Amino acid sequence: MTRFLTDLVHGKKQNDNVTGAVNVPVYTSTTYAYPSAQANVEYDYSRSGNPTRRFLEEQIALLEGGVAGFAFSSGVAAIHAVLATFKAGDHIIIGKQIYGGTFRLINEFFAKWNLEVTPVDTRNIAEIKKAIKVNTKAIYFEPFTNPLLQVSSVKQIARVAKENNLLTIVDNTFLTPYLQKPLALGADIVIHSATKYISGHSDVVAGLVVVNSKELAQKVYFNQNAIGSVLSPENANLVRRGLQTLGVRMDRHLANAAKVVDFLQTSVAIKKIYYPGIAGTKDHEIAVNECNGFGGLVTFEVAENVDPEVFVNNLKLIQLAVSLGAVESLIELPCKMTHAELSQEEQQKVGITPQLIRLSVGIEDISDLLADIKQALQKATVKSVKSTKAIA
Ligand SMILES: *Cc1c(COP(=O)(O)O)cnc(C)c1O
């Protein structure tokens, strides 16, 4: 058996072409000829199965240590296909800080299905236990939350879920299988927005699901085919190509993020840093136990005398944009961008202040990134008459 970094590059060898191509071809054909009317064919129609997509699906299943993988046209489509395995009257427990699009899907779309939900702080195991009801079927959460990077224990949550006969569903977009393998920690289903780190280049929208049993595989496959939100062969190829460099990209993301944190810790222009790599918190402890690294996102609050909007507007290299996990650094103001749907009061309640900034640290030269941050902080700092300290 080959190891993870090798599997990233090679996937599961497929020798179905006559050319010797080293990469799986992009099969654009929508339909496949039957050798005879009696034939039992593997592929008949591209929504139901496509060799390029299948290669990626088998590869992500291999990387996550699961039974089967599925590729969708977006992360949200993947989440939809998983949640659509539940039926009216079922109850699921969800993390309070899950991705906004997931929250909308559950609260505005699945509400019409009569899918009952209870949002909890999944860091609090007692709160999870208290939320379990007779009709509870699953716990759905993100181990690292957005944007505050609060860490929940997959191990502890999966244990509670097993004791109560519930499924553990993990959206692991922020970590990828390079940094954490939730199935090995006890989860049943892993979901990714492959739009982020897995594809890694801000050029494809995609979603992936991996399950740990044949029974779940059948249910998710049924929904994938029935709902039809499949990943195109062209995009499956882009995600496959992204996966090949996931290891080297993540190594640089991690190294750069650590250096950005080091710098922010020394800067008087920064009030607070949210990064699970910083020792001394319970988040850090769990991350050390369950992850192979702390990720490429760094969230921080600028000091009161720093204007967050002037700061982001003055960055020259780091681009002001939503999304994350790509080779290029992206920065955003959660209160104005990713979390703008929340009222000011709701934002405050979950810790999203106007000073809060989320940085997706890219793989550029760290000196250029730090220089960019420093010059923009300087421009954004209102020097009070009393303050004599040099900024940054
Ligand atoms: C982006 C994201 C999604 C949604 O994925 P899309 O590919 O945009 O549909 C889901 N979960 C998390 C954690 C995300 O960051």
Measured by CA distance, the residue closest to atom 6 of ligand 1 is 75
| Element at 82 (helix H, strand E) | helix 75-83
Give dist(CA 46, CA 39) in Å, integer: 17
The answer on 83 and 194 residing in a single domain is yes
The answer on 314 and 260 residing in a single domain is yes
Range of the domain at 84: 4-244
Nearest one of 371, 46, 362, 384 to 234, comparing CA atoms: 46
Q: Are 244 and 8 in contact (CB under 8 A)?
A: yes
- pTM for this structure? 0.96
List the catalytic residue out of 7, 43, 47, 155: 47
Q: Does the CB atom of residue 171 touch ligand 1 within 6 A?
A: yes
Give dist(CA 378, CA 390) in Å, integer: 9
DSSP 3-state of 265: helix
The atom of ligand 1 lying closest to the CA of 174 is 13
Provide φ and ψ at 319, rounded to 5°.
Answer: -95, 145
Residue 197 pLDDT: 98
Give dist(CA 85, CA 40) in Å, integer: 27
The answer on 206 and 157 residing in a single domain is yes
Q: Does the CB atom of residue 196 touch ligand 1 within 6 A?
A: yes
Q: Does the CB atom of residue 74 touch ligand 1 within 6 A?
A: yes
Whether residue 78 is contained in a domain is answered as yes
Residue 246 pLDDT: 98
Nearest one of 191, 182, 201 to 241, comparing CA atoms: 201
CATH code for the domain of 355: 3.90.1150.10
The answer on 33 and 149 residing in a single domain is yes
Residue 1 pLDDT: 82
Give dist(CA 128, CA 352) in Å, integer: 23
DSSP 3-state of 71: strand
The answer on 236 and 276 residing in a single domain is no
The answer on 283 and 233 residing in a single domain is no
**How many structural domains are present in the chain?**
2
Whether residue 389 is contained in a domain is answered as no
Residue 103 CA: distances (Å) to CA of 71, 96, 247, 357: 21, 9, 30, 21
For helices 75-83 and 214-227, the axis angle rounded to 10 degrees is 120
Residue 20 pLDDT: 86
Distance from the CA of 79 to the center of ligand 1, in angstroms?
A: 9
Final residue of a structural domain among 197, 220, 244 = 244
Q: Does the CB atom of residue 299 touch ligand 1 within 6 A?
A: no
Whether residue 391 is contained in a domain is answered as no
Looking at residue 364, the DSSP 8-state letter turns out to be S
Per-residue pLDDT of the chain (392 residues; tens, 9 = 90+): 899 999 999 998 776 778 888 899 999 999 999 999 999 999 999 999 999 999 999 999 999 999 999 999 999 999 999 999 999 999 999 999 999 999 999 999 999 999 999 999 999 999 999 999 999 999 999 999 999 999 999 999 999 999 999 999 999 999 999 999 999 999 999 999 999 999 999 999 999 999 999 999 999 999 999 999 999 999 999 999 999 999 999 999 999 999 999 999 999 999 999 999 999 999 999 999 999 999 999 999 999 999 999 999 999 999 999 999 999 999 999 999 999 888 999 899 889 999 999 999 999 999 999 999 999 999 999 976 555 555 55
Looking at residue 174, the DSSP 8-state letter turns out to be T
The answer on 175 and 48 residing in a single domain is yes
| Amino acid identity, position 91 | H
The answer on 252 and 150 residing in a single domain is no
CATH code for the domain of 234: 3.40.640.10
Residue 390 pLDDT: 55
The answer on 264 and 149 residing in a single domain is no
Q: In what order do the strands lie in the sheet with 167-171?
A: 68-72, 207-211, 189-193, 167-171, 136-141, 91-95, 116-120
Residue 341 pLDDT: 87
Whether residue 303 is contained in a domain is answered as yes
- For the record, the structure tokens of 264 come out as 């922010």
The atom of ligand 1 lying closest to the CA of 324 is 15
The atom of ligand 1 lying closest to the CA of 146 is 13
Whether residue 94 is contained in a domain is answered as yes
Final residue of a structural domain among 196, 227, 244 = 244
